[in-house]
Every structure is written in C-alpha cells, then in structure tokens.
C-alpha cells in the first residue's frame, strides 16, 4: 500500500476526489496529514485505508455523522459492536422504506400508462393524474 503520497495519488488510490479529501479533513473525518516544506500534504497507508472506509460507507448511503461514529468505533476496537449494528440496522430500515416507496411509485406509473388512451392530451391519463393528486392510487408517495 502507498505511503507518503501527495493528495492526487491518495485520491486515485482511494477513489475519493481531491476536494472531498480536503472536506473530510476540514470536518475531522481524517486527520490533517503532515506537509512537506513546499506545503504539500503527504498521506500514508492508514489515511488511504480510512478514505476507502469512508468511501465505502458513503457508497452504502451512511450519513457523515454515522460514519464519524463508525470510525470512532474502528479506532477503539475493544468496544461492543452494538452501536455499529444499530447504525447499520437504521440504514437498512431507511433502504427498505425507500424501496417500498419506489415500488409504490412504479405501480402508480404503470397504472397511469396502462390507462392512457394514447390519444389527445385532453384525454391523457398521465396528465390527469399529475394534475389531480387525488386521482393517484398511492397518495402517500
């Protein structure tokens, strides 16, 4: 793994954009790395591993505060993983809720398209439903 690399190389190795790495430093998700005499940041293997952890967590949709907690847990491995489990369980619940909402939207869009006359706009079911939310079969979406 890389050691003492500039920010561009750390970005390529982790898949995290340079601006995002700077942002993560600013908000304290990663420590500010040492700098050269020319004021260039130098990242080590641990920094890149941390960036990979953060990127993976973001890819899974975890919020910054949750990632901060997960990183703290990772930094203190003697703790119970109950907090990590709770964070993951909450994220799963969010995903399941979104899936249910998307499935409801899919059904409604299919219904709108099945009922359309493919004729004139004044008879178009898509326009009618969008213009009158009460026509929608799934008003809670």
* CATH number of domain containing 52: 1.10.1660.10
pLDDT in tens, 56-94: 999 999 999 999 999 999 999 999 999 999 999 999 999
In a domain, 21, yes or no: yes
pLDDT for the residue 96: 98
In a domain, 136, yes or no: no
In a domain, 73, yes or no: yes
pLDDT for the residue 47: 95
In a domain, 57, yes or no: yes
In a domain, 20, yes or no: yes
In a domain, 72, yes or no: yes
Is it the case that residue 12 has pLDDT exceeding 70?
yes
Query: Which residue segment(s) compose the domain that 41 sits in?
Result: 7-79
In a domain, 88, yes or no: no
Q: What's the domain count of the chain?
A: 1
On the 0-12 / 13-18 / 19+ scale of CB atoms within 10 A, 67 is buried
Pair 47, 11: CB distance under 8 Å:
no
In a domain, 108, yes or no: no
Is it the case that residue 140 has pLDDT exceeding 70?
no
């Amino acid at each position: 793994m890389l050691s003492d690399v500039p920010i561009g190389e750390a970005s390529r190795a982790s898949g995290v954009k340079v601006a995002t790495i700077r942002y993560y430093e600013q908000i304290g998700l990663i420590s500010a790395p040492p700098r050269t005499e020319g004021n260039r940041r130098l990242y080590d293997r641990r920094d890149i591993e941390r960036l990979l952890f953060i990127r993976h967590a973001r890819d899974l949709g975890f919020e910054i505060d949750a990632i901060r907690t997960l990183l703290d847990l990772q930094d203190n491995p003697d703790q119970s993983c109950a907090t990590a489990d709770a964070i993951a369980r909450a994220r799963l619940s969010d995903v399941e809720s979104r899936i249910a909402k998307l499935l409801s939207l899919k059904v409604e869009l299919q219904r709108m398209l099945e009922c359309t006359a493919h004729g004139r706009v004044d008879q178009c079911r898509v326009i009618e439903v969008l213009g009158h939310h009460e026509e929608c079969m799934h008003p809670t979406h």
